[in-house]
Structure 1
Amino acid sequence: MMDYPLLVHQFLERSSVFFPNKEIVTREGDGTHRYTYVELMKRSSRLSNALAGLGVGVGDRVGTFAWNHYRHLEAYFAAPAMGAVLHTINIRLFVEDLVYIINHAEDKVILIDPDLVPILEPLVARLEKVQHFIIMTDDRSFTTTLPNAINYEELLSGASDEYLPVKLTETAPAGLCYTSATTGRPKGVIYTHRGLVLHSMMEAQVDTIGFRERDVVLPVVPMFHANSWGVPYTSALVGATQILSGIRPDPEVICRLFES
């Protein structure tokens, strides 16, 4: 039997081939955004290539400061596929902890939702390594005092959708999260490709959670917290339909999504 490295982006390779028409649905205002795993793969490839064009390379940290939506999901696959490390920043941390973990992680770029920009704008002078802020919106009129700010859709429009994953070992880091600092400073926790793949394979087992292709999955856990417990990755592995709650969900929104 041949050795086969366990790599996160293989989930998307698989789902785009075997479940090309299964959907990812995101709540947007009073409506929804819908697209397929094939389109997710193309756009995540665009993001990988665009980030490479900004100088992001193997081992660099790509921060996200965002809610649960399809652009965040694209980053979930784009960063690991290019050998970068996805750092999902907890938007609910205290300001001092945010500054600490962004600097400690040495995030090279941060992808941020427009409604969260006011949190980081007053802190930007204290962020030591961030070179670009990518605003996750299609509103090109959006303005910010964040330096080197780039519109997400504009960035993707100039990038190729050719899928060019780098050669990696399965022990390479794929993700980074920080604790909420019960005692002392927040502590960084690295997730390897192998660890994330094995976690998703276990979630898909019938004697655990048992995710299946015919399921419709709504990750209630924020994507900025512990990789949303791996649910977005496992859903892609098995080809399940994903429902993402969008910006600032509340219990009423979640319940409506359950019903619909």
Structure 2
Amino acid sequence: MAKTKIIPPAQGAYNYQLLIKRLLLSGVRYQPDQEIVYADKLRYSYRTLNERIQRLANALSAAGVKAGDTVALLDWDSHRSLECFFAVPMLGAVLHTVNVRLSPEQIVYTMNHAEDDIVLVHDDFLPLLEQIHGELNTVKGYVQLTESVAKPTQLPLVGEYEALLAGADSHFEFPDFDENSVATMFYTTGTTGNPKGVYFTHRQLVLHTLNQLGTFAGWDGQPLLRSGDVYMPITPMFHVHAWGVPYTATAMGVKQVYPGRYEPNTLVHLFREEGVSFSHCVPTILQMMLDCEEGKRTDFAGWKMLLGGSALTLGLARQASERGMRVHCGYGMSETCPLLTLTHLRAEDLALPMDEQIPERIKTGVPIPMVDLRIVDGAGNDVPHDGVALGEIVVRTPWLAQGYLKEPEKGAELWEGGWLHTGDMASIDQRGIVEIKDRIKDVIKTGGEWISSLELESLISQHAAVAAVAVVGIPDAQWGERPLALVVCAPGESLDQKTIEVHLQQFVDSGHINKWAIPRQIRFVADIPKTSVGKINKKLIREAVLAEL
């Protein structure tokens, strides 16, 4: 680094640390009576939110939680989770949001690896915790989260959440400490080995929040979340802090709606009844909401939907747009906190008919402010910005995970050469618009040529009778690999392989794809395997197909 001039601060100057508690200051100032809603069960104001956060801090302190401890949370998306997002790290402790969709064995591994001290657990997960309690090495007690009447349990309880809050003092003086203190932790699953612990500091989360706030609210081409909006997450709060948006929404003081356990009809009902205007989800959840009974009779006009986690196909984007939604795409990963890029529409783009905007809306987007993003070849050199040349996305921002918990070797692999390696293959055009073509491990190499599984999925999805599709590469003696497609038919529709081949031939004739990109095998299935966070599980698909060979 260059040697620069640094002037020491005056005596008594306050060293302002970027701590999560700072994010609570503005919402209650701007909108003290604005609502926090939990499904159809509860609603309260920002004043009450701040009071409950202080009560929770007192209750946890009384239970023995201190700075540096780890508090685990197993809950659905709720007001309680929002309160924990603030109270736990503001104590100086670490919030471990447990992925409740992992297997019991994986949950045991993550809770032991994180060295959880106290566990907050919803009644729905009591049987799981009772099953694995004897295998948890560091847990000292449990706080029960219940909706009405607490279920009996043999777990060593500290108490029931609401009772503890009711008995706690309503004021807590949150301490100052180093902004580089770890605030949150969760585990990301890969294709091999145990889940990896990803952690973020107060500084990283505050910077991500401030950047997200400005990006969502400041640009006419992507006005996703502004002061008059109503926000409802449809990405689990255990996964990358629900993309960090609960922190942003709370700092803004907007109305927030937490839906509890995701059920498509309930989500659509809450959209209508609470006036939701902004949400984010993965494409599979979007498809489920469009297809459910409530969805079929609902006009989705006014709902801005940010899609991420996996590629949004052109067919699904058009279906959502025709039903009134305004779709946007974002990109990131667990290790990036997560936001890196976002749909960015210029004035000339917005002037186009919506059907002509859709191809731009489903691209990966433009890097948001403070994101240094490159697309590099195997030698680490930047690829041409021509929208064609492919390379790996590597990034630097102030909110990237600096490693994996207790796994320095894997952290070094992540940060090879001083850039965080995403494992995503993409192109970038002269306007700076990124378009992900595939995960490195999902690109199909056939006859020396590369085929993007995501592009094939998007083309197949444009057939009106296709509800969902996944494409993977399978071994081929002659060509190395050939694509295989799994297709789910829309309700009341039927398809055969010849119909899909004819549909794809139009893209061959136009020069969009080569003839060898048409899958030789097309299987029609009732459902497509998903990961614990709703993404298409291509690893599982490949394993199942290979087992048949």
Taking structure 2 as the reference length, the TM-score comes to 0.45
* 1:83-232 correspondence to structure 2 within 5 Å: 83-137=92-146, 139=148, 141-205=150-214, 206-207=218-219, 210-232=224-246
1:250 aligns with: 263
Matching residue within 28, 32, 39 for 1:16: 28
Whole-Å Cα distance in 1 between the matches of residues 168 and 23 of structure 2?
A: 22
Whole-Å Cα distance in 1 between the matches of residues 191 and 237 of structure 2?
A: 21
* 1:227-242 correspondence to structure 2 within 5 Å: 227-242=241-256
Q: Deviation string for 1:186-212 (max 9, x for gaps)?
A: 111111111111111121122466522
CA 1:210–1:244 in structure 2 vs 1: closer, same or farther (change >3 Å)?
A: same
1:259 counterpart letter in structure 2: R
Moved more, 222-231 or 6-15: 6-15
Whole-Å Cα distance in 2 between the matches of residues 196 and 184 of structure 1?
A: 28
**Which segments of 5 or more consecutive residues in structure 1 lack a partner in the other structure?**
none
Conserved? CA contact 2:25–2:251, under 8 Å: no
User: SS state of the match for residue 204, structure 1?
Assistant: helix
**Which segments of 5 or more consecutive residues in structure 2 lack a partner in the other structure?**
1-8, 274-549
Q: Deviation string for 1:39-66 (max 9, x for gaps)?
A: 0111111111111111111111010001
Deviation at 1:138, TM superposition (A): 5.6
Mapped pair 1:48 → 2:57 = yes
User: SS state of the match for residue 117, structure 2?
Assistant: strand
Q: Which has the larger radius of gyration?
A: 2
Q: Deviation string for 1:86-117 (max 9, x for gaps)?
A: 11000001111100010111111111111111
Conserved? CA contact 1:140–1:151, under 8 Å: no
Q: Which runs of 4+ in 1 moved over 3 A?
A: 138-141, 207-210
Deviation at 1:32, TM superposition (A): 3.3
Deviation at 1:72, TM superposition (A): 1.4
Conserved? CA contact 1:203–1:211, under 8 Å: no
Deviation at 1:120, TM superposition (A): 1.4
Larger RCO (CA under 8 A, 6+ residues apart): 1
Q: In percent, how many aligned pairs have the same letter?
A: 40
Taking structure 1 as the reference length, the TM-score comes to 0.93
Deviation at 1:126, TM superposition (A): 0.3
Q: Deviation string for 1:193-247 (max 9, x for gaps)?
A: 111111111211224665222110001111111111011111001111101001x
Whole-Å Cα distance in 1 between the matches of residues 68 and 28 of structure 2?
A: 26
1:4 aligns with: 16
1:194 counterpart letter in structure 2: R
User: SS state of the match for residue 271, structure 2?
Assistant: helix
Matching residue within 26, 34, 37 for 2:38: 26
CA 1:239–1:167 in structure 2 vs 1: closer, same or farther (change >3 Å)?
A: same
User: SS state of the match for residue 174, structure 1?
Assistant: strand
Deviation at 1:181, TM superposition (A): 3.6
Whole-Å Cα distance in 1 between the matches of residues 233 and 43 of structure 2?
A: 16
Conserved? CA contact 1:138–1:152, under 8 Å: no
Whole-Å Cα distance in 2 between the matches of residues 32 and 139 of structure 1?
A: 10
CA RMSD after TM alignment: 1.7
Deviation at 1:163, TM superposition (A): 2.7
Whole-Å Cα distance in 2 between the matches of residues 244 and 141 of structure 1?
A: 21
Whole-Å Cα distance in 1 between the matches of residues 247 and 94 of structure 2?
A: 15
Whole-Å Cα distance in 2 between the matches of residues 80 and 141 of structure 1?
A: 27
2:177 counterpart letter in structure 1: L
